[in-house]
A and B are shown apart, each in its own frame.
Chain A
Amino acid sequence: MSALSDRLAAGKFTVTAELSPARGASAAAMTARAQLLRGWVDAVNLTDNQGSHVRMSSWAAALTAKSAGLEPIMQMTCRDRNRIALQSDLLGAASAGIENFLFMSGDHPKFGDHPGAKPVFDLDSTQLTWTARTMRDEGRLLSGVELKPPPGPIFLGAVENPFAPPLEFRAERAGKKIAAGAQFMQTQYVFDVDVFAGWMARLGDLGLLERCHILAGVGVIRSARMLEFLASGKVPGVVIPEPVRKRLAAVPAEQTGAEGAKLAAEIIARLRELPGVAGVHLLTAGYEKQTPALLEMAGVAEGRGPAPAAVAERAPDGD
């Protein structure tokens, strides 16, 4: 099993972080950012052309992260590939030693740098998760054709936004992904811990928390401009509650970043206390330098740090 799945199974508070693949044909800048996270987070998510903007493919970026000594979670969206290409990339990535996958529908091309692109959406995220589970557990493709050999014990993840309508259905939608095969789930930004707690309680009622590890999404509002942008309601699926907006708007613009980090640390600390929360997922790409300070402020940095031991441990893997 993957190191991430072992850690979650052991019940240890887990921190994952988003790492954006490079927009270019060199991984050097990405490797430098990855180095800043090594030892501090348990795994990194390599996004799949996030926001429908072209970047290096997530499997290539996942291999880069792996060679930088990080545990990669390869994201796959349904936007750009049909079921043939998705299964083929999954096999390729598994053969290269990528063990964690995260499936989502993906943003619509309309929002990206190629708005004229054909949206594929041949499968949806639930069906893709179901397909991956079938490939692993039943050793066959969606078509029924046998895999020789099937992917090893890959660890399957999905996403949910507990804050988007219909709120009453969000726990059940998460449940559909869990039924399809999701073993861990990362969420959209949590700025409203109460709404999130309600969603978690509903998951508990449905008996889903025993079947899936929940990692709550945490973001840092780094500037007054970012606050304005996120609170505008123009970012799909992101809700900034009024008290949060007021709190950050009350400080002078040059201190918004510091207050935003403080807020994020408080949210992490509160999430840690919620029953069933397995950890947090930092949606903070580009914030790698400040990530250690954020974890320390949140009180979850114990046992973390740029430990050379972590590097030595991974060396025999041939990384």
Chain B
Amino acid sequence: MSRSPVPVELLTAPPQSPAAWRPGAGEPGTPRPRRPRLSPAAAYLMQKVLAPSPAKRALGAAIERWPLARRMFTAAERASKEQLFGCRMCAQCALPVTGYSCPMGCPKELRNGPCGGVGPGGACEVHPGLRCVWVVGYERAAAQGRQGDLRRLQRPVDHRKFGESSWLNYWAGRDENLWTGDDALTPEGRPPL
């Protein structure tokens, strides 16, 4: 376990405060938008660092062979992404194509864009004191010239996967079908479900 990519204290630390905790798998309550703590530039840089590669695929496979390693890796992912993005561990991470603003923080868990109830200033309809995750996501993606990502159609979430590590799923290529290409709006790009 000395190879673990995160400090041990992250693996064992409880959620920072009750207010910072967001409902996760199997927990009651309405999700709340969480403002990402990582700047768009830093988030897209992280995307490059985390991109799948043969080495990461092998690392992921090694971690998955060992239940304790898998648990610790997943706990580390949970702890860091909870702090940075309000992650709820859906294990089907959409962040790379949503401007790194988590759609699972939307009270309606909308994966394909904002509902029609967004307030004139960009406020969430359900939590008027918070900004809509999609308004934030659009701004963040546009700031990096990545707004075209939001055109992708997102397929339905598999609720069995809640609590798994999305990074392991990502490296193993298990979530390649989560969304369509960014040409989905063209007649040629019209995607099958």
Contacts and interface: CB of A to CB of B under 8 A. Distances in A.
Most buried by A among B109, B122, B155: B109
Nearest to A178: B185
Contacts of A130: 153, 193
A169 interface: yes
A124 B108 contact: yes
Nearest to B119: A233
A122 interface: yes
Interface residues of A, number: 47
Contacts of A206: 185
B115 interface: yes
Contacts of B154: 124, 126-127
A169 B186 CA distance: 16
Interface in A151-187: 159-161, 164-166, 168-169, 172-173, 175-176, 178-180
B156 A142 contact: yes
B147 A169 contact: yes
Contacts of A126: 112-113, 153-154
B127 to A, nearest CB: 9
A125 B156 CA distance: 11
Contacts of A188: 116
B101 to A, nearest CB: 11
Interface residues of B, number: 42
Interface in B145-189: 147, 150-151, 153-156, 159, 184-187, 189
A108 B125 contact: yes
B116 A237 contact: yes
Most buried by B among A123, A127, A164, A211: A164
A134 interface: yes
B185 A175 contact: yes
A168 B138 contact: yes
B191 A179 contact: yes
Nearest to B123: A165
A183 B119 CA distance: 27
A169 B114 contact: yes
A207 B186 contact: yes
A166 B135 contact: yes
B193 A166 contact: no
B118 interface: yes
A211 B186 CA distance: 10
Nearest to B186: A207
A83 B156 contact: yes
Contacts of A164: 114, 116-120
Contacts of B119: 164-165, 233, 236
Most buried by A among B107, B118, B132, B191: B118
Contacts of A160: 116
A213 B28 CA distance: 40
B134 interface: yes
Contact of B184 (A125, A176, A237): A176
Most buried by B among A104, A166, A180: A166
Given A160-B116, A233-B120, A237-B118, A119 B30 contact: yes
Interface of A: 78-79, 83, 104-108, 110, 119, 121-127, 130-131, 133-134, 138, 142, 159-161, 164-166, 168-169, 172-173, 175-176, 178-180, 188, 206-208, 211, 233, 236-237, 239
Given A138-B192, A179-B153, 20 more contacts: A78-B108, A108-B30, A110-B30, A110-B126, A121-B109, A124-B108, A124-B154, A134-B192, A159-B116, A165-B122, A165-B132, A168-B138, A168-B147, A175-B151, A176-B151, A176-B184, A176-B185, A179-B190, A233-B120, A237-B118
12 contacts: A107-B117, A110-B30, A124-B154, A130-B153, A131-B193, A134-B193, A159-B116, A166-B122, A188-B116, A208-B185, A237-B115, A237-B117
